[in-house]
A and B are shown apart, each in its own frame.
Chain A
Amino acid sequence: MHNAILAVDFGSTYTKVTAISNEKAEILGTSKAFTTFETDIRDGLNAAVQELEKQTGKLNFSHKLAASSAGGGLKMVAVGLVPALTAKAAQTAACSAGAKVVKTFSYELTKADCAKIRQINPDLVLLSGGTDGGNKDVILHNAKMLAEIDAPFSVIIAGNKAAAEDAQTTLQAGDKHAVICGNVMPAFNTLDAEPAKSAINTLFLEKIIEAKGLTQAAREFSAPIIPTPLAVFECTQLLSQSLGDLLAVDVGGATTDVYSMCAGTPTLPGVALKGLPEPFAKRTVEGDLGLRHSQETLVEKLISDGATGNNLLPVGLEEYRKTCKENYAYVPEKNHPHAAIDALLCGIAVDMAVTRHAGFLESSYTPFGEAFSQTGKDLTGVRYVIGIGGSVIYSENPPEILKNATQKQRGKILKPASPKLLLDKKYIFAAMGLLARMDKKRALSILESEL
């Protein structure tokens, strides 16, 4: 019987398990089974482990680690004041905590905004607004509006410290669980994501694990369950220590996540930086770019590209859409025409998500000639682009899809110029992120040999 470490990823559809050797830097095996949300989530886990042991023989697990994105993941809404300032800071902080930020609101919340939040039914709301000593009115107004929404979310208050306590009182009066943490933008244009990030993780453990039916399962693990995107985030962060600047893209059924690990400062001389300073480790989540739940944007882009002659419209698109709508877990057979459509949409998702993640240049004409300013991160010098997640790695031609993350010609959008393309072939990023929390060195050497 082998001694091993078990890493589990409870997904919305599949529960994926990875067995890591306890003696060597080596993966013993991986397998998956359907997530059993309706009965007990441990049933699916046991089925996956049994499947795993068919490959590896009986295993004795010294450590069991888990991440979860079951039940739609950690669904969040971010609220701020100015779109380019506290609203963006709140969104960035929530993304770096591994949340799926469904929507970001700015200025005073309206009744329509609140109806939208109710419909989203988030697990958590991150409420910011005002630098410390800055604007108080808007965050207090928004606390009042949030308090009146009839939904069971908790609120993290990460705004103007001078208004935080009043905002908490207002929210508590509306029966909302509300906690205060440090401002995401304590001073103008200063991003401080850490306090919000740790508050999100605390609430994830206290509230969300239970709400997602993971309490029983959680007791069986040696470390707290964390959100899957956080595990992937920490894995890409670790990997950048060995590979240098990198970008990773994960196209899922509901979202497309992009991770960049680089300073992103201008690579061209004489370019001025504009806007909120960017974190070295950055994650963005595109809630409208997914292959199943949120297919609309991608299909629209496919059709409009078809109309301009960039792409021929695939045959059977309508039937494909219908099939996907009826079954979000639909996976077409390898040579089925639907697999080709999946690949096309996947490429579009990579293109759009990386374009949004990347910084851009703007030119202005001055008495001294043309001057450039850069907003966001310059990714042109990024050395590696890594494809993670099933829709990229199991597709017919992953490099073709990943190429969409790069610049076709040198332009204003600062996407990677000529990176090497890599694949998370065995689907181990979440597992390695979990392993890194207990053994960084081993996780890194496994990653180096598997990529």
Chain B
Amino acid sequence: MNGKTLVMGVIGADVHAIGIKILSHAFTEAGYNVVNLGVMVSQEEYIEAAIETNANAIVVSSLYGHGEMDCRGLREKCDEAGLKDIPLYVGGNLVVGKRDFAEVEKTFLDMGFNRAYPPGTPPEVGIADINKDLGLA
């Protein structure tokens, strides 16, 4: 255990349950205390879980193409709830169609996410980044 807590889940009305289980497993193996909220998670649920568990970061997953709509406003709500500067990560199949990922990434970074990942990113990539961002590596 590395003493860091991550809140994660699949946002919005998305019910893709497998990926989040794999991520939860991978991050637990990597030493994190994972609070897995499962599927169909609202922005408020991430925030409430993060407050109660004193989470170090929030990891958002989205696979059904509506990620942009679902994620908008999460940073502002975190600010409002006193989770100022909490690192936010997002990954998956974030938009519909074949948009260039650089463009997609910019959209999410502008929204206040610290990092955004394209489809098919292996868990190790995210783990390495978050380790670095939280001062573990």
Which A positions have Cβ atoms within 8 angstroms of B?
Answer: 81-82, 84-86, 130-131, 133-136, 185, 188-189, 272, 274, 364-367, 371, 373
Contacts and interface: CB of A to CB of B under 8 A. Distances in A.
Contact of A366 (B13, B33, B35, B45): B13
The secondary-structure label for the interface of chain A is: loop
Interface residues of B, number: 17
Interface stretch (B47-55, B101-109, B116-124, B125-133): B47-55
B32 interface: no
Contacts of B48: 82, 84-85
A232 to B, nearest CB: 32
Interface of B: 5, 13, 15, 33, 35, 39-40, 45, 48-49, 51-54, 64-66
B49 A135 contact: no
A136 B51 contact: no
Contact of B66 (A131, A272, A367): A367
Nearest to B35: A188
Contact of A371 (B40, B53, B54, B66): B40
Given A364-B13, A371-B13, A373-B40, A135 B52 contact: yes
A188 B64 contact: no
A365 B13 contact: yes
B38 to A, nearest CB: 9
A82 B35 contact: no
B66 to A, nearest CB: 7
Given A272-B40, A371-B13, A373-B40, A133 B52 contact: no
Contacts of B40: 272, 274, 371, 373
16 contacts: A82-B48, A82-B51, A82-B52, A131-B52, A134-B53, A134-B54, A136-B54, A185-B52, A188-B35, A188-B53, A189-B49, A272-B15, A272-B39, A272-B40, A367-B65, A373-B40
Contacts of B66: 367
Contacts of A84: 48
Contacts of A272: 15, 39-40
A189 B53 CA distance: 10
A135 B51 contact: yes
Given A133-B5, A367-B66, A86 B13 contact: no
Contact of A188 (B39, B49, B65): B49
B17 to A, nearest CB: 11
Q: Which 9 A-B pairs have the closest CB atoms?
A: A366-B13, A134-B53, A135-B54, A134-B54, A188-B35, A82-B48, A85-B52, A131-B53, A82-B52
A364 B12 CA distance: 9
A84 B5 CA distance: 20
A135 B49 CA distance: 10
A183 to B, nearest CB: 11
A173 B68 CA distance: 51
B131 to A, nearest CB: 19
A133 B64 contact: no
Contacts of A371: 13, 15, 40
Contacts of B15: 272, 371
Of A82, A133, A188, A274, which is in contact with the most chain B CB atoms at under 10 Å from its CB? Answer: A188
Contact of A133 (B13, B33, B39, B49): B33
B54 A133 contact: yes
A373 B54 CA distance: 26
Given A133-B33, A188-B35, A367-B13, A86 B5 contact: no
A119 B45 CA distance: 33
Nearest to B13: A366
A136 B53 CA distance: 9
Of B39, B40, B64, which is in contact with the most chain A CB atoms at under 10 Å from its CB? Answer: B40
Nearest to B39: A272
Of A131, A272, A274, which is in contact with the most chain B CB atoms at under 10 Å from its CB? Answer: A131
Contacts of A136: 54
Contacts of A373: 40
A134 B13 contact: no
A130 B50 CA distance: 10
A371 B64 CA distance: 15
Given A133-B33, A272-B40, A373-B40, A367 B64 contact: yes
Contact of A130 (B54, B64, B65): B54
A130 B13 contact: no
Of B5, B49, B52, which is in contact with the most chain A CB atoms at under 10 Å from its CB? Answer: B52
Contacts of B52: 81-82, 85-86, 130-131, 134-135, 185, 188
Nearest to B55: A134
Contacts of B53: 130-131, 133-135, 188
Given A85-B48, A133-B5, 11 more contacts: A82-B51, A82-B52, A84-B48, A131-B52, A135-B54, A272-B15, A272-B39, A272-B40, A274-B40, A364-B13, A371-B15
B93 to A, nearest CB: 12
Contacts of A367: 13, 64-66
Of B5, B35, B48, which is in contact with the most chain A CB atoms at under 10 Å from its CB? Answer: B48
A330 B93 CA distance: 66
A72 B108 CA distance: 55
B101 to A, nearest CB: 22
Nearest to B1: A133
Nearest to B65: A367
